[in-house]
Amino acid sequence: MGTSVLSLRIDRELLERLRHHAAKRGMSVQDYVVRTLIRDDFDQRFQTAVEETERFYGVTRPT
């Protein structure tokens, strides 16, 4: 698997919050952001799979 570079411009306050969250977990900001993106991507894919399974079996969720 290859890698690519993604450059972001973010404000100082957000960067400081990211540094704080990353430091609490003993991670670099880069690793923290990548892990967060991977987790969010998984959550979205999992939710899509659940919805497709429910449609297949005709399950309806209560509102």
Residues 7-27: pLDDT tens digits? 989 999 999 999 999 999 999
Q: Would you state the pLDDT for residue 63?
A: 62
Enter the tokens of residue 59.
Answer: 């399950």
Mean pLDDT in residue range 27-54:
90
Q: Where are the domains of the chain?
A: 30-56
d(C-alpha 58, C-alpha 13), whole Å: 46
Mean model confidence pLDDT for the chain: 89
Please compute the mean of the pLDDT values over residues 33-45 and round it to a whole number. 89
Mean pLDDT of 26-43: 91
What is the rounded distance in angstroms from the CA atom of residue 9 to the CA atom of residue 25?
23
CA–CA separation, 63 and 1 (whole Å):
42
